[in-house]
Homo-oligomer: A and B are copies of this chain.
């Protein structure tokens, strides 16, 4: 098995300013490719220490992956240090220079000298072109070792890893590990684990329970000689687990909003959304997906009571009698959104995301309502928490699950 070492370069990491999510991403992806990561090192923007660490890593590993320090400024030194340690001169890559000039041209910003430095690459390397930024990645194969440089911003790194580096590294691993997530809603981690019983003791595939913000899921991982075989092993176990979990299991890998969008599309239905405490976050989740416009056309972020009345026809009496945070208000919001938009279904959320002084309703009390005009699904959440982000996230997920329940 090939041995790999990762070096994350950046003083901001050592100051604790950012969380090192790149390390986790790379470790997970490399493990899945059958490449053994034995060490992850973080070092600051200091050329001497970086040189020491790189030289040591190269002496004991087959693959060394460095991240960060590829920017245009003078403290970005990863490329220079690595090229020098390997005895490779830097030369301008014409295609990369074009990419950089184009990058600034479309943004109507000047391309300054420091940006031109980013087109310099070690002689003989394979350039991993960056579709999301101006720093190219670098892949160097020499003396039976592989050295890779990736940009630090996670979005750039992930895209480059998946599209440019993974195909090159695939040849290095022996055997593959395939993992999938069976996602559930409406059931806690404990109950989910109970239902799965003996599956949690199996060794290949392994089945492990996880919980995250109101959602519980199982990770199924199979190791095999080839991808097809590992996929088949996963599929077989997932099928058995789906039988056990029934409608709680809403997807394999796919996020809930994708499942809802596909159900709507398959049934040729549209959805209107009325949000108060979630403040647009359900609309945002659905429109994160490129095909949202097929099924979603109208969203109402009615944060103010006047907006609820004016746009959604919620009655003044309902608000004064039950309050804006009430099952009655949620239902009228959904009915108003349905009537106003002409959609086939409407979803409404109103509640307390944070504690507030001007009401006796507790933070985490949230009312959800979904309807197609005939059938209704409603839910009252009481999270008992003051954490605004948590409450909004859980409410958005539960709201989308209400729509899923109306559709299945």
| Interchain CB contact under 8 A, A71 and B211 | yes
CA distance A387 to B131 in the complex (A): 9
The interface-forming segment of A33-41, A163-171, A227-235 is A33-41
| Interchain CB contact under 8 A, B42 and A40 | yes
Q: How many residues of A contact B (CB 8 A)?
A: 114
**Chain B residue with the shortest CB-CB distance to A286:** B279
**Chain B residue with the shortest CB-CB distance to A112:** B190
With a CB–CB cut-off of 8 A, which chain B residues contact A346?
Answer: none
The distance from the CB of A254 to the nearest CB of chain B, in whole angstroms, is: 15
| Interchain CB contact under 8 A, B288 and A301 | no
With a CB–CB cut-off of 8 A, which chain B residues contact A53?
Answer: 39
The distance from the CB of A336 to the nearest CB of chain B, in whole angstroms, is: 12
Q: A20-B23, A290-B388, A385-B132 are in contact. Are A210 and B283 (CB under 8 A)?
A: no
Give the residue of B71, B109, B384 whose beta carbon is less than 8 angstroms from that of A102.
B384
CA distance A193 to B72 in the complex (A): 9
CA distance A30 to B209 in the complex (A): 31
Query: In the complex, which residues 364-408 of chain A have their Cβ closer than 8 Å to any Cβ of chain B?
Result: 364, 382-385, 387-390, 392
| Interchain CB contact under 8 A, A190 and B14 | no
Q: Which residue, A17, A104, A302, A382, has most C-beta atoms of chain B within 10 A? A: A17
The distance from the CB of A352 to the nearest CB of chain B, in whole angstroms, is: 11
Chain A 347-376, CB within 8 Å of chain B: the 1/0 string? 000000110000000001000000000000
CA distance A28 to B190 in the complex (A): 33
Binding site of A, secondary structure by majority: helix, strand, loop or mixed? mixed
Interface residues of A, Cβ cutoff 8 Å to B? 11-21, 23-31, 37-46, 49, 53, 71-75, 102-104, 106-112, 114-115, 131-132, 153, 155, 177, 179, 188-191, 193-194, 200, 208-213, 219, 221, 273, 275, 277-284, 286-288, 290, 292-293, 296-304, 306-307, 310-311, 340-342, 353-354, 364, 382-385, 387-390, 392
| Interchain CB contact under 8 A, A280 and B290 | no
| Interchain CB contact under 8 A, B17 and A107 | no
Copies in the complex: 2
CA distance A72 to B104 in the complex (A): 56
| Interchain CB contact under 8 A, A17 and B188 | no
| Interchain CB contact under 8 A, A284 and B273 | no
Q: A189-B72, A280-B280 are in contact. Are A106 and B384 (CB under 8 A)?
A: yes
With a CB–CB cut-off of 8 A, which chain B residues contact A114?
Answer: 190, 193-194
| Interchain CB contact under 8 A, B280 and A15 | no
| Interchain CB contact under 8 A, B102 and A155 | no
